[in-house]
Structure 1
Amino acid sequence: MAEVEVPAGYVPQYAMAFGAVDAPAVAVHDDNPLPVRAVRKPAASIPLTGTLAASGLAGPFVPELERSIRLTLTGDWSGTVELLRSADGAATALPLTAGGARWGRFTANANEVVADEGEAGARYYLSATLFGGTLAYRVAQ
């Protein structure tokens, strides 16, 4: 392997190399990867949070694309809570499904990823049918 010496400002025989200022270039390979890592900024979406003491609908949550959506349910409550998705400005809000079965439907406290969104304009709503207690919710990325 030929070494590239300073003052050469380029590395013609390598597809990718790096080095310190005034130091020889070092080839990139499995044992010497680029000294970088992918950095992803925090999601810019605004979490949907609140409490419900009676049945109702909360939302919308406007997700950032290509990120997971996490639903957190806490409190002392009984009933059914379901995450709904709309792609037509809330004219139609449909339950989430996986393999044809309902998904994102809960009867107890939860903290889990429920969806990944890739369609611009999609909105999420939380539908709760409560029989008692107070539900605290958070839909976020």
Structure 2
Amino acid sequence: MGSEHMQIGEVAARTELSLRTIRHYEEAGLVIPSARSQGGFRLYTEADVARLMVIRRMKPLGFTLDQMRDLLDATERLDAGTGLDAGERTALLERVRTYEQAASDQVEKLRVQLSRAEDFATTLRAHLERAGQAAAPQG
């Protein structure tokens, strides 16, 4: 698929993001369409979709648009690998490590919240079962 371009509707379907959200991320400078059609339609590549997927994964973990931009910049520079001296590479790796730690911390917080929510739902089901048995006609 290398240089194959997709219109925004296909990108939205693949990323499960709305057109409005994709346009918002474009306005924020997080993902810029790789090209435009002759009719002016936004055209995206696999690399653009990959950027949107990173953004989609960061959003529910509470990362800001600036943090998303910073991480995308760091990972792209590391992936390109050209023109980096040892100090720059070390600094970029440290930036990515900081985001990995923040993501891991947030995932753990979400696990605790999920566990509490599951306990709450179980408590409600038990309550409904007890109340249902009490209300059942005696026969």
TM-score band by shorter chain is under 0.3
Q: Which has the higher helix share?
A: 2
Larger strand fraction of residues: 1
Q: TM-score, normalization: structure 2?
A: 0.17
**Largest Rg, 1 or 2:** 1
